[in-house]
Amino acid sequence: MNKSGDDMTYADFYQESIDEPANFWGRQAQAIHWQTPYSQVLDYSKAPFARWFVDGRTNLCYNAVDRWLATQGEQPALIAISTETHQEQVYSFKQLHAEVCRMAAILTRLGVGQGDRVLIYMPMIAEAAFAMLACARIGAVHSVVFGGFASHSLATRIDDAQPKLVISADAGSRGGKPVPYKPLLDAAIAQAGFKPSNVLLVDRGLVPMTLVPERDVDYASLRDQHLDADVPVTWLESNQPSYILYTSGTTGKPKGVQRDVGGYAVALAASMTHIFCAKPGEAFFSTSDIGWVVGHSYIVYGPLIAGMATIMYEGLPTSPDGGIWWSIVEKYKVTRMFSAPTAVRVLKKQPAELMSKYDLSSLKALYLAGEPLDETTSNWIAGALGVPVIDNYWQTETGWPILSIAKGVEEQPTKLGSPGLPVFGYKVKVQNEATGEDCGANEKGVVVIEGPLPPGCLQTVYGDDQRFLSTYWNQIDGKQVYSTFDWGIRDAQGYYFILGRTDDVINVAGHRLGTREIEESISSHPNVSEVAVVGVENQLKGQVAVAFVVLKHPDAAGGADASAALEKEIMGVVDQQLGAVARPARVVFIHALPKTRSGKLLRRSIQAVCEGRDPGDLTTIEDPSSLAQIKTALSAVK
């Protein structure tokens, strides 16, 4: 059934976006406000650099906030909930507008103007959203760094972005324990070669904080001086930068993804309508963090551009109990929810009554991204909620989904294990990494995107166009295509399956094995809850695969004999499904896998521990003891 109003199937809808991008995106651009019309939808004369909606002038903050004041000014816009501090605040669009203007007035007073960078190092509090929107309002370029990042990592980002101002807070909180930010920030500024002029600080009263004279400024006192501020919107040409977001896991010089203004606004508006089926006045709950791209696109900008209330949550999914998220869905009548498979697996371990006690009838769909979605997790949550579970695949670099099911255009089936079909605007292919030839159905290759990238994707690497070209566009000889650095296959019906990173390939005696394939095989064992496979250096074979397994029933591996028997059993599963060449050299049983707070598995850190190397920056790790467990377990099995 067609729901787009364009009287076409998704196949037609998608094909127009590829064959006639100017017509297609020109129509999508009508969903946002343009202060000055654009003269050209796409300028691709300097491929692969794409310029969208050339000469058009718009503003992200205006589209997210001001545009809704006349029609739904009193309706909820931002719902800030902290189970850490037991605070909850609902801001209407009018109240959000007032707070953003106050923040914008403070930024202007501190000398921030159009094009200046502002680094935001904050917990999940309302002031962080005010800061992002205020930067967008006055044309400043924000760079959000995940709260709690280590001083060295923060210093490298300060040196790269060279912000005029840093906005931070005394502390975040995790599991009821304050995480001081100010000492980390002070150490980072001391290490950085570039020194920001000012630091604007929100004092939450969580830990004592000493201000540095002449540099540090208290937010509350300045806010009191600008309560009646009404800061006009700065209209920006569509291709001016809106923000820089540094990709996680980079080494050496940071890699800053630079996003535009107009293309991003149009892409988010289109995705909210066609993928997330947004309706103004409804509520959207994304459980991510503003330090990541999901937080930018689907906590702050996307839902507000769609006229929805957006929920900003600080806290654990299990505190005060495992029903907290479902209580939020009930209270605010959430219609669309966005999370990660890791979080769902955590909730699956909670008592079933913590979900069934809440009225979840408002919820229409659950969207999951960030890692591959396994069949067990998908089936459980779909059955428990009684709503569609829609996978989607994308990257920091793209800013919005590459693969998904656009149910806002046509009701199409999902496939377990697949994030779906190419999203409109993305010319996705699977290519042989050696020859550059297109792969056939079910033939493994590298997932690539032919240019031009659609609106909303990265313009370049901040300050380094050559790195943009060499990193993303020159990976396959003779072809200028954007590499996702992911292995994948496309089945005969056009559905894509992601098999793991091309840089997570294990080379075992000349055989190239993807970690994802081995993990999928091991996951099929009935006692396996989670698994991570890494390649470990081996003098004889170059590398061997080592699997780290979290069991559903840990007692089954109690004692050396039982553990050895279970290890042999799991190896047998891999033998049967993938062949002996893919069999892990060892299967190590542990209590928890090391992950970031956003749910990403730290494979490189696991690999480093296995090889006796420094595991790197562990500031964002959810449970630092998990790496110590791996080290202990490895010593026991050697």
DSSP state of 67: G
pLDDT at 157: 93
Question: Concatenated DSSP letters for 81-103?
Answer: EETTTTEEEEEEHHHHHHHHHHH
For 357-376, letters b (16+ CB in 10 Å) and e give ebebeebbbbbbbbbbbbeb
- Choose which CATH entry (3.30.70.260, 3.30.300.30, 3.40.220.10, 3.60.20.30) describes domain 511-637: 3.30.300.30
Global pTM reads 0.86
| Tokens linked to 292 | 């990541």
End-to-end Cα distance, the chain: 58
Cis omega (within 30 of 0) for bond into 341: no
pLDDT at 248: 52
CA proximity to 606, closest of 579, 582, 583, 588: 588
Cα–Cα dist 20/42, whole Å: 11
Within 181-292, residue ranges assigned H as helices are 182-191, 219-225, 262-274
Cα–Cα dist 289/298, whole Å: 10
pLDDT at 3: 41
Using H for helix, E for strand and C for coil, what is the string for 425-453?
A: CCEEEEECCCCCCECCCCCCEEEEEECCC
Q: State yes or no: pLDDT of 614 exceeds 70.
A: yes
Cα–Cα dist 153/619, whole Å: 9
- CA distances in angstroms from 49 to 160, 275, 326, 457, listed in the order given: 21, 26, 43, 11
Cis omega (within 30 of 0) for bond into 372: no
pLDDT at 366: 97
Q: Give the model's confidence band at 251: pLDDT under 50 very low, under 70 low, under 90 confident, else very high.
A: very low
How many residues in the chain?
638
Tens digits of residue pLDDT in 275-294:
999 999 999 999 999 999 99
Tens digits of residue pLDDT in 138-155:
999 999 998 877 888 899
| 3-class state of residue 326 by DSSP | helix
pLDDT average, residue stretch 266-283: 98
Tell me whether residue 116 is exposed, middle or buried, using C-beta atoms within 10 angstroms of its C-beta: 0 to 12, 13 to 18, 19 or more.
Answer: buried
| Tokens linked to 241 | 């930068």
Tens digits of residue pLDDT in 382-400:
999 999 999 999 999 999 9
Q: What is the mean pLDDT of the chain?
A: 92
Q: Phi first, then psi: give them for residue 169, nearest 5 degrees.
A: -145, 170
Segments making up each domain of the chain, as ranges: 10-315+392-473, 511-637
Question: How is the chain split among helix, strand and coil, in percent rounded to 5?
Answer: 35, 25, 40
10-315+392-473: CATH number: 3.40.50.12780
| 3-class state of residue 33 by DSSP | coil
pLDDT at 456: 98
Q: State yes or no: pLDDT of 638 exceeds 60.
A: no
pLDDT at 484: 94
Tens digits of residue pLDDT in 181-213:
999 999 999 999 999 999 999 999 999 999 999
Contact 521, 569 (CB under 8 A): no
Cβ neighbours of residue 214 under 8 Å, at least 6 residues apart? none
pLDDT average, residue stretch 597-610: 80
Cis omega (within 30 of 0) for bond into 241: no
Cα–Cα dist 315/628, whole Å: 25
Q: State yes or no: pLDDT of 91 exceeds 60.
A: yes
Place of tokens 């110590």: 628
Q: Give the model's confidence band at 619: pLDDT under 50 very low, under 70 low, under 90 confident, else very high.
A: low
